[in-house]
Structure 1
Amino acid sequence: MPINSSLASLSDMAFGTAFVIYLLAMILSVVFYVKAAGEKPEGAQKFIGMTQSLVWLGIIVHLVSVVTRGLATHRFPFGNLYEYIAMITLFAMVVAAIFMQRREFKPLWPWVLVPVLSLLFLGGKNLYADAAPVVPALQSAWLPIHVSVVASGASIGLISGVASLLYLLRRWQPEGKEKGFFGKLAKPLPGAKRLDLVAYRTAIITVPVFGLGIILGAIWAESAWGRPWNWDPKETFSLITWFLYAAYLHARATSGWQNTKAAWINIVALAAMTFNLFFINLVTSGLHSYAGLN
């Protein structure tokens, strides 16, 4: 079927609009963060309230972008790296918005919005692909199933990794004992135990969901290529990433392991997932070279 250019244009416009809304939300969240870290944080709450409202508005517009992209191409919008980034950032924002309903977690918004905006900027500027049919290898009913599950796991893993990073910052700068620049940076954050709990609970979801995505990919590979596993670079690094997240959970639940050591494993897992998303997709060649940039 021909591409609906009007819906494709609407999707692109909604993508840019969502970026601007998230950017405004980030600015307001930074203002809140600076005020909360200051000597008189009383007037900070109104800024975080506006941030939360803008985030939900951005999520709605972001969803419109993804849905209209799919309608324009008459397929699920998972056909290239631009569309994949649009999906994982949407999932990440929904997960973050749900977790941050509690007042104690609202200071995390700048830390979530910065990586999300960075991904959206790279997706829209450097990885953008025109709305078009997918290559024949992706014309399968497995595409929406496999990619949506993997994207869900990856987006939740993003939140988990950021929480572990902030947990280490808070452990370094305990509540009431903050010193210097990093002390001011840590002051608005929740306590270390709360941040560690967020990282752990989101990782509990990431491991089975991301693992299920890998298994579904293997089933698809069996039907498409005749083998469930081909040691393709993306397959291999996805499995490594899953092992790292599983190792974090194991370390976090093992007596004798310090939570700080386990947190480093979670951060390495986040780095591995980011490396897989960009370097493996854009630099290496393999059976999963469908970034849409060729």
Structure 2
Amino acid sequence: MNTQTFAELSDSMIYSAIAIYGLALLAYAAESAGRVATSGPRVRQSNRLVLIGAVGTSLTVLAFLLNVGGVATRALATQRAPWGNMYEFVIVAALASGGAYLIFLRRQPVRTLGVWVVAVLLLALGLAVTVLYTPAGSLVPVLNSYWLVIHVAAAITASGIFTVGFVAAALFLVRIRSDKRQGVDAAPSRRYAATLPAAEILERVAHGAAMFAFPIWTFAVIAGAIWAENSWGRYWGWDPKETWAFITWVLYAAYLHAQSTVGWRGARASWFAIAGYLALLFNLFGVNLWITGLHSYAGV
């Protein structure tokens, strides 16, 4: 097959992944709604709800595999690492997020995170194919470096894992707020919170994701500085993307430090993780789309 055929196949697989993720979202949402409807003092699960959730997971695996195929065929179409522009970065980051969720799912009872993780993946992939899409092509000269493989791959991997940690941290805050208000009311939000994993499990997933992704993000920042020295003759120049990468690093460092500090564990620490992820998103979308700097050459 020629490069054009691989490019078209990649696009088809990404669109197929979006469609399957959409079905997975419906399955997860149906399971969550059923769990809320049957929740009382104790959450009850029917065999039907368990089956619906299992279907959601199976569809998520299928969509993840289609995402893998879309990234692989994009690489074959471009004959390079498939993360040379924002479109490619987002589809590979979605791949990393989906993989991280499935790995955590094998280790922790966190299927209820699926509806939110898949929603984030759908939003990201939908944005990629509508706003950020770039036809398969060669790299701009400044990106034609082996540091593209090293630096950007590390940033993508960390971003994907941070996504799962963000969802877990946000749901942890929902769960502990509900636990504190136990017996006060029976609002739908409380009934939903009662279906979530225990706060300890959510906190463990959020902390585990940050612990794993933070060193990778640190390496990405260092690798980026080395690449900058090779390309521009300086390691650090407070370019907007460098600045926001550093802000993201500081916020996640603060989160990990807070988790080991008495009086800051739990809710207070989780806000640092959420702020860190929001900074990461702004670094990807805000800086690239709205702020001019040395990293604006990649386009969208």
TM-score normalised by structure 1 residue count: 0.95
Residue of structure 2 equivalent to 1:266: 273
Unaligned runs of 5+ residues in structure 1 are none
SS of residue in 2 equivalent to 1:100: helix
CA RMSD of aligned residues (A): 1.5
SS of residue in 1 equivalent to 2:15: helix
What is the letter of the counterpart of residue 287 of structure 2? I
Matches within 5 A, 1:90-105: 90-101=95-106, 104-105=109-110
Whole-angstrom distance in 2 between the partners of 1:24 and 1:184: 24
Whole-angstrom distance in 2 between the partners of 1:38 and 1:72: 48
Whole-angstrom distance in 1 between the partners of 2:100 and 2:153: 15
Superposition deviation, residue 291 in structure 1: 4.2
What is the letter of the counterpart of residue 140 of structure 1? S
Residue of structure 1 equivalent to 2:236: 229
Whole-angstrom distance in 1 between the partners of 2:272 and 2:107: 27
What is the letter of the counterpart of residue 226 of structure 1? G
Superposition deviation, residue 102 in structure 1: 5.0
Superposed structure 1 runs of 4+ greater than 2 Å apart: 101-104, 175-179, 290-293
Of residues 164, 171, 177, the one that matches 1:166 is 171
What is the letter of the counterpart of residue 22 of structure 2? L
Whole-angstrom distance in 2 between the partners of 1:257 and 1:250: 9
What is the letter of the counterpart of residue 104 of structure 1? P
Whole-angstrom distance in 1 between the partners of 2:68 and 2:45: 34
What is the letter of the counterpart of residue 12 of structure 1? D
CA contact (8 A) 2:113 2:167 kept: no
Residue of structure 1 equivalent to 2:199: 192
Superposition deviation, residue 103 in structure 1: 6.7
- Structure 2 residue 30 is matched with structure 1 residue 26: no
Distance 1:103 1:234, change over 3 A: closer
SS of residue in 2 equivalent to 1:288: helix
Superposition deviation, residue 184 in structure 1: 2.5
Of residues 148, 154, 159, the one that matches 2:153 is 148
Superposition deviation, residue 101 in structure 1: 2.4
Superposition deviation, residue 181 in structure 1: 2.2
Unaligned runs of 5+ residues in structure 2 are 39-43
What is the letter of the counterpart of residue 264 of structure 1? W
Residue of structure 2 equivalent to 1:106: 111
Whole-angstrom distance in 2 between the partners of 1:284 and 1:262: 30
Whole-angstrom distance in 2 between the partners of 1:282 and 1:233: 12
Distance 1:103 1:211, change over 3 A: closer
CA contact (8 A) 1:82 1:291 kept: no
- Structure 2 residue 75 is matched with structure 1 residue 70: yes
CA contact (8 A) 2:28 2:115 kept: yes
CA contact (8 A) 1:282 1:291 kept: no
Superposition deviation, residue 292 in structure 1: 2.7
Matches within 5 A, 1:76-91: 76-91=81-96
Whole-angstrom distance in 2 between the partners of 1:270 and 1:185: 24
Superposition deviation, residue 104 in structure 1: 2.4
Residue of structure 1 equivalent to 2:262: 255
Superimposed CA distance per residue, residues 167-202 of structure 1 (whole angstroms, 9 cap, x where no aligned partner):
000011129657302112212200111101111111
Residue of structure 1 equivalent to 2:51: 46
Whole-angstrom distance in 2 between the partners of 1:103 and 1:212: 27
CA contact (8 A) 1:173 1:179 kept: no
Superposition deviation, residue 256 in structure 1: 2.4
TM-score normalised by structure 2 residue count: 0.94
Whole-angstrom distance in 2 between the partners of 1:258 and 1:51: 33
Residue of structure 2 equivalent to 1:243: 250
Superposition deviation, residue 83 in structure 1: 0.2
